[in-house]
Structure 1
Amino acid sequence: MQTIITHSDKGQRLAKRLIEAGLEATIIRSPKNYDQLWAENKALIFIGALGICVREIAPFLKDKKTDPAVINIDANGQFVQPVVSGHLGGANELACSLSKRMGAQPVITTVSDTSRLWALDALPARFNWKMECSGNLTRLMAAFVNGRKTALLLEARDKGTLFLETELPSHVDLFLKGSAVNPGDYQLIIAITPFLYDFGTKAIFYRPPMLHAGIGCQRDLLFDEFEKLLLDGFQQKGISPLSLASLGTVELKKNEPAFLKLSEKWNIPLRYFSGDELSKYKVPNPSERVREMTGSAGVAEASAMHLANNTLLIEKTKGHVADKNFTYAVAIDRRFERKGFVEIVGAGPGDPELISVKGKRMLQAADYILYAGSLVPRELTNYAKPGCVVESSAGMDLMLQMKSMKRFYDRGLLIVRLHTGDPCIYGAIQEQMNIMDQWGWQYHITPGISSFQAAAAALKSQFTIPEEVQTIVLTRGEGRTLMPEREQLHKLAESLSTMCIYLSAAIAVKVQQELLTHYPPETPVAVCYKLTWKDEKIYRCTLDTLVQTVEENNLKMTTLIVVGKAIDNRSGFSKLYDPSFTHEFREGIKAESREHGE
């Protein structure tokens, strides 16, 4: 819940403007029930003098961890200032959002923001981590913003660690193993890890949800002693329970009171699986008795392996509560593990600035970049960090590419396989993923802007026309790579859609011949060479002069042929912005109402 508090007519009008701009909030004028508003609201937005705001909230300030976000806006809507709970309460973020709605200036005064440093207290909410501190958090955060020597330990891989790794301040040293950190060399240690370390009173730990615990027990296990022994066991094994993402057990135990209470108290889900599901796992410590009762030779181990899609970090460990036995096992979620990993990145059509933000971060973090040198500008590899190995795959066959990546994967390093455009469109990644699957590698795809999108932008054209052309065909002509009979160009041409033809400049004669079976000779064509590159060239012609255009300009590689009447079209209007068209965000106005000015 958010409330706008105002004391003047001008403030009231500004508040209504914010609501009309999409802000979900209630407007209250000169309230008396501040204690209730303070308790019930996530954010309080004051419009008026800052002094009035400060005096009215002062009696209710308690703790930045629990206080609502408070924003103050001047009555003219020129400045938006977070007053309290800038990071933890989200006041800074809300102030920036409100400023954009109003065209105002956000006034952010927190040191980490003005210094362009990480907001350490905001990282948990941003990246779904849990935080614990071995010393005085305020003093440690002050050490960071004051530029004191800091160690950053990353023993996980997720969106948050990628952000930290690629936005590293100059006073921060990066470590990938806790054993390599010498606490005596640093005034602050920031550790993103599920493991326990004794770094004295100078560490801030962030716990990613990357551990999965499998559990099994005899019926009616006493909870309090079970929980204590489990926590003691985690402590002895050197892992933090704050990094637990889930608990798992066999379906037979889904209603076990101790397990249900643990799930509720620790606020992590309890998942259960059939004996058949768990029996597929070859566990290190099988039990025939457990197999007879549940169908699985090891409930705890198999559950942890199933949840994490990984081998075990902690094998089956036994515990005893009164006359009852229980077991647990732990595995690291394979997606978070800081081991060898391949990110297949779409480079976009060529311009280094058209790569996605995530793609750029991956290039900045990579230990090895293998890029398609015949199609991707080398300038994109300039994002690589010092020490990163960069190689072109232009002269490599498939197995040589895979062996080149394997050198780095086996060392637990991050590899970026950089493909042109979007790697899922004629990117030849399927055969690479096939081998990665066989080798059990972890990989992910970051999409990129395809050349057909760059062509539309360069041509200043929308490739669809309302009620005339509603289909875009991405295809290629038949050259050395055979095309299925149903996808021959002359068959696709029957639809008269906008057609974007890849990898076909060298067979322009055949392309023109097949398209002319259905497209009129005067159909607009754009032959696009090296879209968004420095030496980009675009040749407009008609279908009957396609071959002539290609041959006269000696076009062969990195050329996209676009065919269709949508090129340069300006006719036809969609219903989206028609005043009479009703959709989820706007009620249409009937024609007779418009005629009468209603």
Structure 2
Amino acid sequence: MILAILAVSPQGIQTAKPILSSYPDARLFSTHPGEGVEHIDHIQSFVAEHFTAFEGWIFIGAMGICVRSIAPLIGHKYTDPAVINIDSTGRFVVSVLSGHVGGANELTRDLASLLGAEAVISTQTDNTGLWALDLFSRRYGWHTETNAPSLNQPIARYTNKERTALLLEVKDKGTLELERTKAEHVDVFYSREELTPRLGDYALVLVVSPQRFDAGATPTIQFVPRILSLGLGCRYQCEPTDIVEHIFSEIRRLGFYPEAIGKLATIDLKKDEPLLDELADRLGVTPLIYTADELKDVEVLSPSQKVFEVTGVWGVAESTSRYAAGLGSIVLPKQKGMVHPGNDFTFALAIERSAERRGHIEIIGAGPGDPNLISIRGRAFLEVADLILYAGSLVPKALTLCAKSGATVRSSADMNLEEQFQLMKEFYDKGLLVARLHTGDPCIYGAIQEQMAFFDEYGMSYHITPGISSFQAAAAELRSQFTIPEKTQTIILTRGEGRTAMPEREKLHLLARSQSTMCIFLSAGIVEDVQAQLLEHYPPETPVAACYHLTWPDQRIYRGELRDLAKIVKDHKLTLTTMIVVGEAIDNRKGLSRLYADEFKHLFRH
């Protein structure tokens, strides 16, 4: 945001200094001299002349001066710049104009945080936790349509908490947030067939879809994400005049929004076609060009022997649209057109595979145990998942208490892999979201390899959300830096050899030669062997820590020396949920004090 800061007084110039440090592109103006100040002769005249030249104005001084300066210039919330007023002492930051659309509310919060001030925002949605519907286009990159004369009427129904239906026919980052943060007066639907019979129950309909939804007389706001791929085929050197308008008109007639098109694709034989260039220019995209070899295995709805003989693929428009969409489904089959004689063309639409409301499995790292240590993304998935399957013996049930009403929450502790797969696939095949919750980070001793192989075999959509590993929790709870300059710069994550064999090159005694910081998982039951192998290279007095149930309410940590490791584990009856840490890095702060004492000793002079 291009900002103008107006300091009414010399004190205001001082208040502006931290703002300039955080917003280096901002410009500071004042009638008073000062460092970094651009001098002006008269505040109101300057504002009148430059009001639209800046995206945001920050007045530092009395509110009256701010109001009198902008009052004659105010036009419309969709065009006015953001205006904020800060008192000269920096105690209050007030959003004055263009709070939503202009970004004044967001900037007010940022400035209040920067100055340690109180943010003053009067916008109803900001103060009630409701959605700012008029910001969705900017926030999520969606196009907005409405059947009302303007957005104000349907937005008012929502903010007045009248019954609202939310139809989510697709999914992306935005829809995930909407599911998670919906107000009590909003009911979610996932198909128009489910919603249509109940339209009379609602005063407002919100839709997220690339396809037009007709709610009749009910006020509707439709949000259109750019999740469609347009595949194009045409005769050689097809004359493009009027064809682009025809294609867009047909797309609208068939119920889709051209604004939903985010990708344009064709085969390499058509890469120099004028029609392709004109379409790309209108859509504001760079065409994606594919070879026949890339497209040969793409299934299409309308295969053509003639097209195959010429191009080597069974359908240019459908295959290129699907390939560009990550092999998503065709939502508009091949359409043929000929605006001018001899200039025939075809086009088709496919939806991004990732945006289809189909089944998905999110493998989530739960962290070491404390429910507050799961990632924001991981918790967001748990709040909207239809099935939460968690490793009950390792993951606290408290992590699942954020599940939405009606969700199925199951522990996998008493289930074998086949039973787990069967349950997840049952929900997946219904187009539902499955959250598979593993302890720590699922990629470190997380037992997800077999699950991913199963998902791959059945072509199932899945993704991994990482988590905080117990070795990181160990470093935090031990208040130790596991990498210390000139001492150790390597962390080894490993386990002892129990029922699971270790590769020969990864035997503990070989890894111990580096005397690095070593974090040993799942090895409390074979601690004598672990100690013996480590003593082959680590000195007996090397610090060790046995960390049980890190970050759980019953966490216990025992420190000692390597020579006593087995005794520590056995005397305290520690189990497999114990992390063993070995190395000089444990509690080592003397080295740091020697390295940095001279640099910081001036801080301790009296």
TM above 0.5, yes or no, is yes
CA contact 2:268–2:289 (8 Å) conserved in 1: yes
**Alignment equivalent of 2:220, drawn from 203, 226, 234:** 203
Deviation at 1:244, TM superposition (A): 1.4
Distance 1:580 1:195, change over 3 A: farther
1:418 matched to 2:434? The reply is no
1:27 matched to 2:46? The reply is no
CA contact 1:5–1:46 (8 Å) conserved in 2: yes
Q: Which moved more, 1:20-29 or 1:440-449?
A: 20-29
SS at match of 1:384: coil
CA contact 2:48–2:69 (8 Å) conserved in 1: no
Alignment partner, residue 14 of structure 1: 15
Distance 2:141 2:77 in 1: 19
Distance 2:595 2:226 in 1: 42
Distance 2:189 2:470 in 1: 39
Structure 1, residues 360-390: CA drift from partner, whole Å, max 9, x if none? 1111111111111111111211111121111
Distance 1:467 1:405, change over 3 A: same
CA contact 2:331–2:349 (8 Å) conserved in 1: yes
Deviation at 1:543, TM superposition (A): 0.7
Distance 1:96 1:471 in 2: 41
CA contact 1:466–1:574 (8 Å) conserved in 2: no
Distance 2:496 2:397 in 1: 28
Distance 1:245 1:115 in 2: 34
Write the mapping of 1:474-513 to structure 2, written as runs, cut at 5 A: 474-513=493-532
Deviation at 1:224, TM superposition (A): 5.2
CA contact 2:48–2:70 (8 Å) conserved in 1: no
CA contact 1:222–1:321 (8 Å) conserved in 2: no
Quick one: percent identity of the two aligned structures? 49
Distance 2:85 2:410 in 1: 53
SS at match of 1:500: strand
1:66 matched to 2:66? The reply is no
Give the counterpart letter for 1:305 in structure 2: R
Q: RMSD across aligned C-alpha pairs, in angstroms?
A: 2.2
TM-score by length of 2: 0.92
Structure 1, residues 340-366: CA drift from partner, whole Å, max 9, x if none? 110111111111121111111111111
Distance 1:9 1:578 in 2: 40
Deviation at 1:222, TM superposition (A): 4.5
Deviation at 1:576, TM superposition (A): 12
Distance 2:54 2:270 in 1: 41
Give the counterpart letter for 2:54 in structure 1: N
Alignment partner, residue 333 of structure 2: 315
Distance 2:155 2:82 in 1: 20
In structure 2, list runs of 5 or more residues that go unmatched.
32-39
Give the counterpart letter for 1:46 in structure 2: F
Distance 2:595 2:48 in 1: 46
Deviation at 1:2, TM superposition (A): 1.7
Alignment partner, residue 275 of structure 1: 292
Distance 1:97 1:574 in 2: 36
Distance 1:287 1:96, change over 3 A: same
Deviation at 1:253, TM superposition (A): 2.2
Distance 2:99 2:240 in 1: 40
Distance 1:86 1:380 in 2: 36
Structure 1, residues 194-237: CA drift from partner, whole Å, max 9, x if none? 12111135111111221111111124444453223222322343
Q: Which moved more, 1:276-285 or 1:550-559?
A: 276-285
Alignment partner, residue 208 of structure 2: 192
Write the mapping of 1:49-64 to structure 2, written as runs, cut at 5 A: 49-64=62-77
CA contact 2:205–2:218 (8 Å) conserved in 1: no
Distance 1:510 1:287, change over 3 A: same
Write the mapping of 1:475-554 to structure 2, written as runs, cut at 5 A: 475-554=494-573
Distance 1:540 1:164, change over 3 A: same
Structure 1, residues 62-90: CA drift from partner, whole Å, max 9, x if none? 22222222211111111111222212221
Distance 1:256 1:91 in 2: 46
1:429 matched to 2:436? The reply is no
Structure 1, residues 431-466: CA drift from partner, whole Å, max 9, x if none? 111110110101111111111111111111111112
Q: Which moved more, 1:87-96 or 1:223-232?
A: 223-232
> In the comparison of the two structures, how many residue pairs are matched?
583
SS at match of 2:392: coil
Distance 1:50 1:265 in 2: 45
Alignment partner, residue 142 of structure 2: 129
SS at match of 1:304: helix
SS at match of 1:321: coil
Give the counterpart letter for 1:91 in structure 2: A
Give the counterpart letter for 1:155 in structure 2: E
Q: Which moved more, 1:156-165 or 1:283-292?
A: 283-292
Distance 1:47 1:438, change over 3 A: same
**Alignment equivalent of 1:217, drawn from 234, 248, 264:** 234
In structure 1, list runs of 5 or more residues that go unmatched.
582-590
Deviation at 1:393, TM superposition (A): 1.2
1:92 matched to 2:93? The reply is no
Distance 1:578 1:60 in 2: 58
Alignment partner, residue 34 of structure 2: none
